[in-house]
């Protein structure tokens, strides 16, 4: 057995005692949002995290609506430019978040973390790494251990990776494994309800604007 396989098997064996599902694990008191900006001529990209209090009743909405987007024939702003043939049947194909507008009201959100990337990378990887940064921040507070933490996410592939727990992309799967290690160590689980980019509270923060 070659070294890399042996090392991975040992790591998996040592982590098995931590793989316990706490069905009654409560939600944390905070609602997060994370976003990333891709590289351009000025820098290698940046990331931002916003935070607000999780209000009464919002936990139930996240559980029932957060990870099950509906579909629309128009974008959030009413744009119908995606329709190639106006005479064809109007089938809803554009994902649309079912979370109420109150979740993304700008006045309730506060900046939590901002920074620049050391190297340029694909935007999806940047979004995923931002979630890992958020998890590392959460793990640093003992009072937030053993909780479920929701964080609004506007990158659909990243939201799906966290819901599924793995990815067919090697790079994304590596980030997902880092997140799994943090989750096992602190007993936390991240739920990433998807929202449209136009509604992402951390969009401005990821660009250094607040």
CA angle 109, 194, 204 (to 5 degrees): 40
Give the residue with greater pLDDT, 89 vs 138. Answer: 138
List 89's β-bridge partners, or say none: none
Percentage of the chain lying above the pLDDT 90 cut: 66
pLDDT at 6 (0 to 100): 94
pLDDT tens digits along 100-136: 999 999 999 999 999 999 999 999 999 999 999 999 9
Give the residue with greater pLDDT, 197 vs 77. Answer: 197
Give the residue with greater pLDDT, 136 vs 209. Answer: 136
Give the residue with greater pLDDT, 24 vs 32. Answer: 32
Taking the model in full, what pTM does it have? 0.82
User: Distance between CA atoms of 30 and 119, rounded to whole angstroms?
Assistant: 30
Task: Tell the CATH topology of 25-69+98-207.
Answer: Nucleotidyltransferase; domain 5 (3.30.420)
User: Distance between CA atoms of 197 and 92, rounded to whole angstroms?
Assistant: 18
For the chain, the average pLDDT equals 88
Strands 148-152, 30-37: pairing is parallel
Q: Which residues contact 98 (CB under 8 A, 6 or more apart)?
A: 65, 66, 68, 69, 70
Q: Is the pLDDT of residue 55 over 90?
A: yes
- Residue ranges of domains in the chain: 25-69+98-207
pLDDT grade for 84, boundaries at 50, 70 and 90: low
């Amino acid at each position: 057995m070659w070294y890399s396989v042996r090392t991975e098997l040992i790591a998996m064996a040592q982590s098995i005692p931590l793989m316990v599902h706490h069905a009654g694990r409560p939600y944390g008191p905070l609602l997060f949002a994370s976003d990333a900006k891709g590289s351009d001529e000025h820098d290698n990209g940046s990331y931002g995290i916003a935070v607000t209090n999780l209000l009464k009743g919002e936990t139930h909405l996240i559980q029932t609506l957060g990870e099950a987007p509906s579909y629309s024939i128009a974008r959030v702003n009413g744009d119908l430019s995606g329709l190639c043939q106006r005479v064809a049947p109007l089938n809803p194909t554009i994902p649309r978040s079912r979370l109420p507008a109150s979740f993304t009201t700008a006045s309730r959100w506060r900046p939590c973390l901002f920074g620049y990337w050391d190297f340029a990378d694909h935007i999806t990887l940047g979004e995923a790494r931002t979630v890992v940064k958020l998890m590392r921040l959460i793990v640093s507070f003992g009072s937030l251990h053993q909780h479920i933490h929701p964080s609004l996410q506007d990158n659909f592939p990243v939201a799906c990776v966290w819901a599924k727990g793995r990815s067919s992309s090697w790079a994304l799967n590596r980030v997902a494994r880092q997140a799994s290690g943090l989750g096992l160590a602190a007993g936390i689980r991240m739920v990433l309800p998807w929202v449209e980019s136009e509604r992402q509270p951390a969009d401005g923060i990821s660009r250094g604007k607040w």
